[in-house]
Amino acid sequence: MLLLFQIVVLVYSVVIHEVSHGLAAQALGDHTAEHAGRLTLNPLKHLDMFGSFILPLLLVVARAPFLFGYAKPVPYNPDNLSDRVYGPAKVAMAGPVSNLALAVIFGLALRVMVETGYSGLFTNLFSYIVALNLVLAIFNLVPIPPLDGHWLLMIALPVRWFGLRTALYRYSLPFLFIFIVFLFPFLSPVIAGLYFLITGQSWQ
């Protein structure tokens, strides 16, 4: 039952993440996601066979310390955005911001429950929602394509650094693999710190 709950939370967390991209694009004048039927919380419209099923299953089988996955990216046309310069970054940031918002909402609810003396099933469930959404938010802020955070890097990089931009896109998969395997564990203190800041509880 707990595993089923974790999978449902993962699915809807990544769906909300993707829908937020589409809503941000729509707010900036692009209706591609709406026309594609992707501005919906119906998970069947968003699920990716590998990212939403195979990858989480592999993590469960491998007894990984965290469950992770992703949905199909919501399409949008940057040429339709009213803000051509910063628009893509705004659309990209909407995803991690939605996960942070979920973490704050459920984290504050968890804090209230604990402070009022409640301790039961919902505290464990809310704790998982907070932790998962913090992982999703922090992971997606990493400045490696195709993660959302790379758009902030693209804006910050001077035009003369075109070679670095090209290399980041060309070797994005190896960079991402190296980050996941060797560097992402070092972000655990950041996630744990945010978890404590929101909930007032230690992340176990």
**Hey, which residues are catalytic here?**
18
Q: List the beta strands (DSSP E) in 146-193.
A: none
For residues 134 and 14, is the Cβ–Cβ distance under 8 A? no
Would you give the end-to-end CA distance of the chain in angstroms? 20
Whole-angstrom distance, CA of residue 159 vs CA of residue 115: 51
Whole-angstrom distance, CA of residue 193 vs CA of residue 204: 12
CA distances from 118 to 2, 112, 176 (A): 20, 9, 41
Tokens of 200: 């007032």
Tokens of 11: 């699915």
For residues 84 and 115, is the Cβ–Cβ distance under 8 A? no
Q: List the beta strands (DSSP E) in the chain.
A: none
CA distances from 104 to 28, 64, 165 (A): 25, 25, 34
